[in-house]
Amino acid sequence: MIGDIDKCDQLLQDEEILFLLTQYDVLEAAAEAARALAARYSRLCDERVGDISKSYSQLYEHYSKLARFLSDKSQSTNLLPTLTIDDTDDTALNDRIFTRHMQEYLKDIKGEDK
């Protein structure tokens, strides 16, 4: 989601990405990664030597905008509650979100109770 796909020039280490994924949902983890990259590039100055230039300010702007976009998208998709299961509490496994009348239509198909 942040465009870090070049294995020869990784912007973030796999361990950093895994850590973010343990702390946030996927979209917010990507937003945090983009914020980290924006912070990295905010410290660097644009350079120009003859016709060759590096525009770190553009990278900063790109990752800042990407972080805002991903964070906004994460907030808009988190409107529905999520089910988290605690390994120590197996009662959550027995709770079903959609239990109402689950078998009702099965009886109609089999021809029972008509």
How high is the pLDDT of residue 38?
95
In a domain, 18, yes or no: yes
How high is the pLDDT of residue 114?
47
> Tokens 């029972």 belong to which residue?
112
Number of domains in the chain: 1
Give the tens place of pLDDT for each residue, 42-78.
998 899 999 998 889 999 999 999 999 999 988 887 6
How high is the pLDDT of residue 78?
60
In a domain, 97, yes or no: no
In a domain, 103, yes or no: no
In a domain, 101, yes or no: no
| Residue range(s) defining the domain that contains residue 52 | 14-80
In a domain, 2, yes or no: no
pLDDT band of residue 18 (cuts 50, 70, 90) is: very high
83 and 92 in contact (C-beta within 8 Å)? yes
Tokens, residue 21: 């994924």
In a domain, 25, yes or no: yes
In a domain, 112, yes or no: no
Rounded distance between C-alpha atoms, residue 24 and residue 9, angstroms: 25
Tokens, residue 4: 């870090």
Q: Is the pTM value of this prediction over 0.85?
A: no
In a domain, 89, yes or no: no
Residue 13 CB coordination number (10 Å) = 10
